[in-house]
Amino acid sequence: MKTIHRITRLLFHFGLCLYPVDFRKRYATEITRVFEEGLADAVTAGLGPTLGYGAKTVADLCASALRERLRCVGPRDGLVVFVAVICGHLAVCIDFLATEVQATLLVLLLSGFLVGTVASRPGWRWALLIAVWLPLLHVALFAFALVHSGAVEGFSRHPYLSRLLLLLPALVASLVGLYLAVLMRFVGRRLAGQSRRQS
Amino acid sequence: MTNAASSAPPDPFTLLPLTPAVFGILMALADGEKHGYAIMQAVAAETAGGLRMGPGTLYGTLDRMLRAALVSESEGPGEAAPHRERRRYYRLTDYGRRVLRAEIDRLQQVINLARRKKLILRPQPVTQ
């Protein structure tokens, strides 16, 4: 029971990091207190209620953190999200159509660069938003195809989870493109500053 | 919901219909000020377990309600244990009470319409 208690608390405290900073500063203490009170009640009720409470609370935390994050998205960030999602889907299309992996990596690299020219900090989240569609859509389309062909039992035999590893090369390619753009922006600003000082 | 702190609050009817979470919190606070966990318990009890909010949803909703001036933070009773940080209490504002009444009127109209269409055969007994 103590282990479950500890794991639930650990997951909860990790979940708190998902909130935007302002929200976390304002409410983290209160949210933690409410969580601890609920957990204490659940622990006295037994193992089942404790597990149920832990799972529900962590799920609620993730969902509400996403809601709070979306509330903080400004019009510019909204546009960047839109472009990143479109670029991610484009990379998936290229991956299905092209015979060589280089084409997909090039699209991811260019997508990262495009988003990096306008994206706000931290850049890695935009790279993740571009890259995440490749493994997700691979697994989703594979599952969809199996269900429609009626060979659902093949899903358990096929190593489809290995497709999730596609995230790694996709992320590397989009990160390289994105930080290349960030570097170019930085150098451009420095050069512009120098030329202003000289004039 | 718009930020109503700096200007006159909008017409209560513009906020309708309320989400279940906002309605549940307003109903819970209609009895008096409460802290977060008490609000969660009151909402769960008053909806017979139909609406169970997690702490994240609760404070996200409370944050929006504070911005819309539906609720305000209050001192709470002076029972705070010395070793613990003071809790935040929340209470209904006058505007929040008006919005709650407007929502109840709206729901009453829905009930009346359902009665006229004989979708509700007889009034349900109120259970505590």
Mean pLDDT of B85-90: 83
Domain membership of residue B126 (yes or no) is: no
Report the DSSP beta bridge partners of residue B92: B71
HEC assignment per residue over A3-38:
HHHHHHHHHHHHHHCCCCHHHHHHHHHHHHHHHHHH
Mean pLDDT of B75-99: 78
B4: pLDDT strictly greater than 60: no
Residue B82 scores a pLDDT above 60: no
Considering only CB atoms, A38 lies closest to which of B37, B57, B59, namely: B37
Is the residue at B37 inside a domain? Answer: yes
Range of the domain at B19: 13-116
Number of domains making up chain B: 1
| B118 phi-psi bin (left φ>0, alpha ψ -120 to 50, beta other) | left
Query: What does the pLDDT read at residue B2?
Result: 46
pLDDT at B80: 53
The CATH number that applies at residue B60 is 1.10.10.10
Residues lower than pLDDT 50 in chain A:
none
ipTM above 0.95, yes or no: no
pLDDT digits (tens, 9 = 90+) for B35-63: 999 999 999 999 988 898 999 999 999 99
Any CB–CB contact under 8 A between B59 and chain A? yes
Q: Do B58 and A56 touch (CB under 8 A)?
A: no
Euclidean distance between CA atoms A103 and A108, whole angstroms:
9
- Of A6, A9, A32, A7, residue with least CA distance to A19: A32
Whether pLDDT at B1 is above 80? no
For residue B43, the SS3 value is helix
User: Do the domain assignments include residue B103?
Assistant: yes
User: Using one digit for the tens of pLDDT, what is the confidence trace for A44-59?
Assistant: 888 888 888 888 888 8
Q: Is residue B108 part of a domain?
A: yes
Name the residue facing B54 among A29, A33, A61 (closest C-beta). Answer: A61
